[in-house]
Amino acid sequence: MNTVHRSARRILDEFRAQGGLTSGSPADIGWEHRGGGLTPAYVLLFAVKAVLRLRQESGADVREVVTTVAGDAAERSRAETLVHALSGDMAVARTLDQHGTGLLESVMALLDALIRLEDLSEEEIDELLVHAESLADECTRAGEGLLPALRGVETGPWDESERDDRQAADLIDLGGLRIPDDPGLDLRMDRGGTPPRLLSVTLVRGKDTALQLQAFHSPGGPRWADVMARLARDIRAQGGEAKEWAGRLGPELRCVVPVEGPKRRMPVLMLGCDGPNWLLRGVVSGTDAESVNPDSWVYSYVERVVVAPSYLPRSTASPSAPGFGLAPLGPATGPIPLRMPR
């Protein structure tokens, strides 16, 4: 029996001894807590997820692992499905979350293949399993499962109520958005609507990557999940491709859209984050949309953005109306306006 199977069996034995596996078959990979503890299958699944993420971040092809899985074609097919789900494919993850992922042996075979590819020692495997148990517990408490959690409180983008003046000191004030002042970015303000007004900002990095940011009021909806589904339908109706993915910021849309010109098709990455009564949307084009990496500057940039839904340009208020210069009563709707940087 190989190293990972010894480690996996040890985990199974420990969970049984602690009463964490009190019902159901040990071959079942269900997500529920049993006897107050995590299922061993869940811990091992997150060990697989952790190693796959490391391979993604290093630029390695995560699908390569499927060809090294021991077993027959059916076993490799189950492994391929798990790889797609754990790598971020939300359509596959949603199906597995609802119907189960199959046998624990399939997870163990996939973990075995990954460990052989990474040439991990017994000590490194033990460290991996400790990390996986912590990650599984954290994701369970967040209600994540295979699907990404909703916006939390420990990472951005932020609401203006969550940042003080000191924390916003290094940000560019655009009214409804406050964005990081990173070197090497070309900032362009975009107008839209009738009459035209500043509604979005585009950050250009280098010669071939751009990030457009726009925030919307959303009291009671629509939320990003609904908007993302509608965008996917529209893109497919126009002859493009759209795949829901679990990214670093949560659910995202990885697209290929038809365009004019010699290339005819262009990769686009659409990001979205729900906040308290607002929605922040990011559209990425260029190199970072084509070869998406969890360490991309796009993610770290959006995580530092602050949304200020209370901002209202003075020009939109009537001087004769009571409360001149203040936001009107009642919930605001539509895009959150911007202003030129100060």
| Predicted confidence pLDDT, tens digits, the chain (342 residues) | 345 445 555 655 554 455 443 333 334 444 344 444 566 777 788 888 888 878 877 777 777 788 888 777 877 887 888 888 877 777 777 777 665 555 667 777 788 888 888 888 878 888 888 888 777 776 666 555 555 544 455 678 999 988 877 777 789 999 999 999 999 999 999 988 777 788 999 999 988 889 999 999 988 766 888 899 999 999 999 999 999 988 888 889 999 998 887 778 899 999 999 988 899 999 999 988 887 777 788 999 999 999 999 998 865 544 433 333 333 334 567 899 999 997
Q: By three-state DSSP, how is residue 254 classified?
A: strand
- Cα-Cα-Cα-Cα torsion 161, 163, 165, 167, nearest 10 degrees, comes to 180
* Type of residue at 226: D
Which candidate, 6, 8, 5, places its Cα nearest to that of 41?
8
Whole-number Cα distances in Å, 7 to 55, 121, 245, 278, 342: 21, 11, 31, 46, 58
Task: Quote the pTM value.
Answer: 0.71
Residue matched to tokens 């034995």: 13
Q: Which residue ranges does the chain devote to CATH 3.40.1000?
A: 158-313+322-335
Residue 303 to residue 297: CA distance in whole angstroms:
10
Which candidate, 117, 106, 124, places its Cα nearest to that of 45?
106
Task: State which CATH number among 3.40.1350, 3.30.70, 3.40.1000, 1.10.3470 fits the domain covering 158-313+322-335.
Answer: 3.40.1000
The HSE-up count of residue 136 (CA atoms within 13 Å, CB side) is 22
